[in-house]
Chain A
């Protein structure tokens, strides 16, 4: 298979997954999420006529398949519906307003994760000093094991102005670059840990191969062999892992947003869950999942471009 036809096939697969995704998210949240219109009234017993009118306005009196089809038709025109509230707004606008902040967290988080994991792994393996190697391993294990909610919360408690906390970083979130520091540290710790562990064990395998011996015999420096030759040969499984763990990254972003009160998509989703505003929840979850699907596709294509074996044998994923 050429790279071109591999890319075409992978894009087609992603489109099929996207379609199924809309059904799963919409059906799951609509059928299991409770009655959003009743929730609008809170503890006030609503007037039955008003309740029925509101339900009809949101199409909630229709049978479910009709609701989904109506949603899908709107979705294909780039419309996520309107918020379920007394002052309805387009969901697309509400979600779009929160997207830049989340995009910064995802983008910078991914970039920092990759550079940190790559740097730490290469440096820790350059000279075989047992202590350095052991310390790196333990730090990576600790970062992998610590639930992000715990890291994020502990960092917030100790480094922002709380009880006995140091006033080093602003909290609540004020949008300055400084305010991004703690959330990003929590994210990078969660993400880089598993990557360091995986990259390390892949590199150890590669270093035993004959091709490394050839590189040594060719007179390349240790640093160059490790950071270029061996790293490239070991990158496949790491990139596959990154692609498969995007859902995990995005969940992490949502959590970090709630802990630090960052006005992003994640916070919007959780607020809307509390308000039972199903339209915003479906829209937000869809946007996040679409990001994960596109990211997974890009990761597969990059892996295939790096390693011809993947595109020759199929896509490498089940």
Chain B
């Protein structure tokens, strides 16, 4: 059974079509790249895959649960999403942000602290999120995904604003996810990286699959 299967997914905001008739299947252990110009619907498609946005029409199954059923909430903890804005709490420190997430997903505080070290934030752990650079915040996001070990990994421009060490961590995350049998979707403008790190590339244009 595929980890994700979308059939004829369309999303409209008012009368404006954002996605039109997207068909997509993602098998276990498969990682795909998603590319396309700005406004082509990449993030909207990722939100549908993350079960956070209801399609206007079409159907889908994510991790065995139909998208339009309330039971879809059950599979959300198996989905790891790295969005443009990591959604950290600005007043909390990087450590507190990660520890909070660890508590919510049932991991220990020690695991959170260890992950913070792995992503190279040991020295900055007591820095407030709003006083940390974008790259540091993205690294906390990365640490969250490493802690979570999701079955469906969704990365929206996860390499953006990262130094080479953090970029390597993202690549490692994708590789580790694939070897565990999880599926992944990597959104990027960097076609070379997508060709190198993913099994196939889908290009979106004006809400439709172009290639």
Are the chains A and B members of one assembly?
A: no
